[in-house]
Structure 1
Amino acid sequence: MAQFSGLMKYFLLLVLVFWPAIASAETCHGTNACTLGERSYHIKLPDDWDGQSALPVLLHFHGWGRQGDLIVNHQRISGHTRRRGVLLIAPNGENRTWDFWREDSRDTVFAAAVIEHVAERFPIDRAQIYVSGYSYGSAMAWRYACDNGDGVAALLAISGTLSQDENCAQAPQEIRHVHGMADTVMYFPVGPGGDVAHPVRLWRDTLGCGMADHTGPWQAVEWLTLDRRTWDCDGGRVTLDIHPGGHFIPHGWIGWQLDQLMGRVPQYP
């Protein structure tokens, strides 16, 4: 009887320790949106979180016409974060789109507030906040980094940019961008004289980059080869991956970048 009583006390202690995280996850997690004022967002916890450790964060902006419920179930996004101990946050754009056209975007303010709202519920690692997006969401991720990049460890942008003539008040120390040469939705922005490095000129100018190191082809999956250029800069590092395909999220790309940024051996998935 005494042994049973001891086990019950231990069980109750575990419930008290983990209940806040468990309860909040049940009420607001996955496709069940979290509300913040008149707006909302989605989250996806990693598979192996212990309920206490500080979580790296991937803030991902969805493409045009989508919402965050798609992102938290997307195998090329949440399929990688959940295996790497990363908390995925997917804000919902108003009218399923983003306000990235000009500085001081209302969506930058909203997304920053989302991070703080999540931080009230879960311990987040402020040194590992990564911002990502696809298509219009990629342009919004650029805008977020341009307006609020000092608090961002890295920008992971996929098939969408801002004008390269923008002047950014802030910038992450690490920029990673991937784009398809045959993209007919958010066209690959070739520069003067056929300059294929033009898609990241804004960040190269902002961070004070020198000559590119053309590191060449690499693959996360055998059916897609990407061509990589990197710049070591006064204010950080810029990476550009180019592939021959169109408008899509390359298999394994997000996971590969997260592995490298977190000091792990890159793997798929």
Structure 2
Amino acid sequence: MARRLSQALAFPITILAILLSAAPGRAAAGMDVEATLPVDGVSRSYILHLPPAAAGGNPLPLVVVLHGGGANADSAIALTGFSAEADAEGFIVAYPNGTGRLRPTTETAGQFSWNAGDCCGAAMRRDADDVGFLRTLVSTIEQERAVDRHRIYAAGFSAGGMMAYRLACDAGDIFAGIAVVSGAILLPSCTPSRPVSVIHIHGTGDEAVPFKGTAERESYARAKFPPVRESVAFWAAFDGCRTQPVARATVLGIKAEDYPDCKAGTAVRFDVVEGGIHAWPDGTDTPGFVATPHIWHFFADHPRL
């Protein structure tokens, strides 16, 4: 795993559901709630982050954040920093746990994967209905909280990004947009029901999900990866965008490619991190470019029309 993910996994699994008090001079922090829900006889778990704005009762956007392979909800919180962004911008965040091994050991008990098609791990081997789980998760949150149904999104890293692509393919009726960091479409067939906005961030030096794809099944995820650009181009075509993107340099080392004139108010954007590794950009190796606020602003600009 890349350095960012390794750092995230170093955080212990904690029992949450506390209201954090704000430090002097800082904005109030929100509340984390740990919960479970039954899906096809299996108890599935997640952490829900409620920003201070949730106390007002107005419908808020919802972002479902999907951890990478071998990781969990806690590591996604630490890796992405989406909770702090949610507190500042006023949206709800759900951090679901994927599917674990049937007989986990002490060492693997906190490691989960997603059934993203031809990936990944125990979830793929068990043919876990992760799409069904995430549909139920969103429905449950909608019943319990005030959610703006035009502003429901999914964001994922690595295997979580592959799962986000699967949600766009299989649950586009729910998600207005997705964000993928270091992922690809690994479904044998993607047949979306409606246009979905897509932002994809990927490093050209990614060795886990290679930018140019792999000729054979790659050992990291035991999957054959297509060239990353093919996943982006698929969505540009489905969303009715122009086939040729407009490229522009944003900050040093980042090249943005926007596909213009997409239908139904959608957008497709590809941010290429020159030399970037398999990581969630946090500004350390990408000065001036931090993935989480960048993704949120893309989401905020593209609700479901």
Q: Same fold (TM over 0.5)?
A: yes
Q: Which residue of 1 aligns with 2:280?
A: 249
CA distance in 2, matches of 1:196, 1:161: 6
| Paired residues of 1:188 and 1:199 also in contact (CA < 8 A) | no
Q: Does 1:176 align with 2:199?
A: yes
Check 1:110–1:196 CA distance in 2 against 1; reply closer, same or farther (3 A cut). closer
Match of 2:117 among 80, 101, 108: 101
Q: Map residues 205-216 of structure 1 onto 2, 5 A cutoff.
A: 205-216=237-248
Q: Which residue of 2 aligns with 1:230?
A: 258
Sequence identity (%)? 26
| Paired residues of 1:33 and 1:42 also in contact (CA < 8 A) | yes
Check 1:227–1:99 CA distance in 2 against 1; reply closer, same or farther (3 A cut). same
Check 1:56–1:166 CA distance in 2 against 1; reply closer, same or farther (3 A cut). same
CA distance in 2, matches of 1:87, 1:36: 18
Q: Structure 1 residue 97: deviation in Å?
A: 0.2
Between 1:43-52 and 1:57-66, the stretch displaced more is 43-52
Check 1:155–1:171 CA distance in 2 against 1; reply closer, same or farther (3 A cut). farther
Q: Which residue of 1 aligns with 2:184?
A: 161
Match of 2:154 among 113, 126, 131: 131
TM-score by length of 1: 0.76
CA distance in 2, matches of 1:75, 1:174: 20
Amino acid at match of 2:293: G
Q: Structure 1 residue 120: deviation in Å?
A: 2.2
Q: Which residue of 2 aligns with 1:117?
A: 140
Check 1:100–1:233 CA distance in 2 against 1; reply closer, same or farther (3 A cut). same
Q: Does 1:35 align with 2:26?
A: no
CA distance in 1, matches of 2:63, 2:73: 13
Give the match's secondary structure for 1:241.
strand
How many matched pairs? Answer: 232
CA distance in 2, matches of 1:110, 1:130: 15
Q: Structure 1 residue 86: deviation in Å?
A: 1.3
TM-score by length of 2: 0.68
| Paired residues of 1:54 and 1:123 also in contact (CA < 8 A) | yes
Match of 1:145 among 168, 174, 185: 168
Give the match's secondary structure for 1:185.
coil
Q: Which residue of 1 aligns with 2:299?
A: 261
CA distance in 2, matches of 1:80, 1:207: 28
CA distance in 2, matches of 1:169, 1:176: 16
Q: Cα deviation per residue 1:28-71 (whole Å; 9 max; x = unaligned)?
A: x63x5211011111111124443311111111111011111222
| Paired residues of 1:76 and 1:249 also in contact (CA < 8 A) | no
Q: Which residue of 2 aligns with 1:198?
A: 230
Give the match's secondary structure for 1:169.
coil
| Paired residues of 1:208 and 1:233 also in contact (CA < 8 A) | yes
Q: Which residue of 2 aligns with 1:21?
A: none
Runs of 5+ consecutive residues of structure 1 not aligned to the other structure? 1-24, 265-269
| Paired residues of 1:154 and 1:174 also in contact (CA < 8 A) | yes
Radius of gyration: which is bigger? 1
CA distance in 2, matches of 1:172, 1:86: 22
| Paired residues of 1:152 and 1:172 also in contact (CA < 8 A) | no
Match of 1:59 among 52, 57, 64: 64
Q: Cα deviation per residue 1:211-267 (whole Å; 9 max; x = unaligned)?
A: 334241113xxxx63211111334532111101211111122221232243249xxx
